[in-house]
A and B are shown apart, each in its own frame.
Chain A
Amino acid sequence: MIKLKNLVKKYGQNIAVDNINFNVNEGEFFGLLGPNGAGKSTTINSICGLLKIEQGEITIDGIDIKKNPLEAKKRIGLVPQELAIFDELTASENIEFFGKLAGLRGNLLKERINEALEFVGLSHKAKTTPHDFSGGMKRRLNIACAIVHHPKIIILDEPTVGIDPQSRHHILDSVKQLNKLGSTVIYTSHYMEEVEAICDQIAIIDHGRLIAEGTKEELKKLVLEEEKILIEALDVNFNTVDEIKLLNTIKDVKLDENQLKIVTSDSQHILQDILFVLSKNQVRIKGIQIIEPDLETVFLALTGRNLRD
């Protein structure tokens, strides 16, 4: 559905996007993950035909965005990171305006406005101006304006920035629903939990470069299947720590006050041995937690820095 080939975008001397390639298949939920300033929004804006591309190709549903931007744009619904809505117009009028820009008229437009309002849970606020909305409601209206024309591709650029957990939950559910209904979704975020929870395919971008791409599972394999075991325990001494270090598949063990931090490549099989060592040394265990590698770990391993640095 979307193909990016050798995409390069420069602002003066700065390279915002550096030779990015990826494909998004029809019906896929594609996550674009990266810290602020990584080049996610530039990539999104290039896909939407909003930026002049210096190098590379982008095709939307087989249409070259450079050659036929207006035709390609008919297939896209963009939810910008900013709240791009008119404060003077009611929720319904805002959606109507963008629906008309997409070519909707008459009864079909009315139907779609009601549908979009219902979808984002703002039917009861149809005649209210966004001025009286909470941050979360404005974000939902921001989404409604992008989906009124039933685009084949929905692109959401950090749609959950700065909103309450309830609204975030509502937005994530709505987006998942859109994907289930058949829309291809590109979702950018620097919240790895969101991307991890909802995306089928994930691309990680940093400094304008695509540093990894694949399913969640594929990406985690990139960090050599590291897992962490955290054990809250009393009466742990350094002999016990040394003994655990000698166990098979153990990579690292640290004692931090009453917490043992163990890094292993196979928590499932080694946990029994660890518990045996602790029991033998009369350590009182208060809690055990196994942490599988997440995208944060993947990002850290690939770039040497945290996602939110």
Chain B
Amino acid sequence: MNIFVIALSEVKRTFKNKVVLFLLIIMPVMMVALMGYALAPFLNPNETKSIEKFNVLYVNHDDGEIGQRFDTLIKDEGSNYFNLITPESDDVGDEMISNNYDEAIIIPGDLTEKVKNFEEINIIHLSSGDDKMKDSMLSSFVQQFVKSVNHEIAIIKVAEQHQVELDMDEIRENIQTTVTVHELNDTLTINSFQFFGASMLIFFLLTSSMGLGMEITNDRNNKIFTRISSYPVSKNQYLLGKTLGNSIISILQAISVIVLTHILFKVNWGSDYVGLALVVLAVIFISSGISVIFSSMFKSSKTLSTVLIVFYWMLTFISGAFTPIPAFEDISKFILNKWAFESITSFMRGNPLIESIHYIALLIGLGVILWLLGVYLYRRRGSNE
């Protein structure tokens, strides 16, 4: 129970300090605004580059109903984006290389057959990988069709098993097969506000958790810790209470940054809220661990905050989160900011959690290591001595 008493006191004291509150909530939003506007020309390719129609080698080996459906779809809705080219030879791959085509689609001959047998279908999408925008657009288009057909198959299969009669036209209507330009754009790149929304969120989460280290150091110096320890409160309860309090503040900060940047700058944070929450919590977990370690190393909270702020600035700078720096591209792969940044921007692009799970695992793993070290140092240091 004392853990919550200490945690709530932390939150209360923070909210009473107007300067701290300003730094926690307004500063990140201001930074997103400043850097978002200042670096917009360098980071907003969608604003300067329109999506032009591009050539796609297209082979349809399926004469059945499903092959025809895809044919209609790509020639109708896809006509705004793709010039369909019929390959001259059978080897599509060779032709892609020889004629410099970036993308190709091959419809297997057994597509309709597979549907009849209630088997999952797939359409072959070949990409040179040279143009991520084209790759992403075509991939979205194809995948959306494949997904809708596979949904149909699944529904029919289940209906048959349970002997239910189906109105297939209605089902098809409910399964979206259209792909809009707006959705395609969203999957491609992030804009400058998204870029700095993500990078500033990570940076300020790191710096706000720094408060934990400063609190521990201050409490030790002004004997608040001694006093708290004279009550029935163990050292672990104290640390957990302080960590919980600071984590609540950091979570509130993250929510306010996400909501305010969405309202003010229309930052699209994606729809994977679980993933976003996981990254936020992992960053708070890591920075709390760092704070505990540093609080055991430094006697003064001023020294601690100075060292940590320089440390976090360096991490953020090297990770390319202030502005992408090609020289640091390789080293940035080992920086926690980069892992968190890549995860958040992946969600912004509409990618599922699974695509960032390796980064999140790295973040949590690092957090566990830092906390183990932090707790060891914290317990070793006789804080009242």
Please report A residues at the B interface, Cβ cutoff 8 Å.
11, 45, 48-52, 70-71, 73-74, 76-78, 80-86, 88-89, 93, 97-98, 100-103, 145
Known pairs A78-B226, A93-B12. 4 more at Cβ < 8 A?
Answer: A74-B232, A84-B226, A98-B231, A101-B233
With a cutoff of 8 Å between Cβ atoms, the chain B residues found around residue A97 in the complex are 5, 9
Minimum CB–CB distance from B336 to chain A (whole Å) comes to 31
Contact B232–A73 (Cβ < 8 Å): yes
Q: Does B384 contact A (CB under 8 A)?
A: yes
Q: Is B30 an interface residue when CB atoms closer than 8 A count as contact?
A: no
Evaluate contact between B16 and A102: CB separation under 8 angstroms.
Answer: no
Q: Are B223 and A101 in contact (CB under 8 A)?
A: no
B229 within 8 A of A: yes
- Kindly state whether residue B230 has any CB partner on chain A within 8 Å: yes
Q: How large is the interface on B (under 10, 10 to 19, 20 to 34, 35 or more residues)?
A: 20 to 34
Q: Which residues of A contact B384 (CB under 8 A)?
A: 45, 50-51
For the complex, what is the distance from the CA of A88 to the CA of B230, rounded to whole Å?
Answer: 21
Q: Which residue of A lies closest to B230 (CB)?
A: A78
Say whether B231 contacts A102, CB under 8 Å.
yes
Q: Which residues of A contact B16 (CB under 8 A)?
A: 88-89
Q: How far is B384's CA from A254's CA once the two chains are assembled, in angstroms?
A: 50
Q: Within the complex, which residue of A50, A71, A84, A88 is in contact with B232, where a contact is CB–CB below 8 Å?
A: A71
B163: Cβ under 8 A from any A Cβ: no
Known A51-B382, A70-B234; contact A89-B227, beta-carbon cutoff 8 A: no
C-alpha gap A23/B154 in the complex (Å): 82
Q: How far is the CA of A70 from the CA of B237 in the complex (A)?
A: 12
Q: Which A residue's beta carbon lies closest to that of B228?
A: A101
Chain B residues near A145: list those with CB within 8 A.
Answer: 227
Complex-state Cα separation, A120 to B178, whole angstroms: 76
Residues of A within 8 A of B12 (CB): 89, 93
Query: Please, which residue of chain A has its CB at the minimum distance from the CB of B385?
Result: A51
A71–B234 Cα distance when bound, in Å, is 11
B146 to chain A, nearest CB (A): 59
Q: How far is the CB of B2 from chain A (nearest CB, A)?
A: 6
Residues of B within 8 A of A88 (CB): 13, 16-17
Inter-subunit contact B232/A103 (CB<8 Å): yes
Residue of B5, B16, B227, B228 with most partner-chain A CB within 10 A: B227
> Which residues in A have their C-beta under 8 angstroms from that of B38?
none
Known: A50-B226, A51-B385, A84-B226. A89 touches B13 (CB 8 A): yes
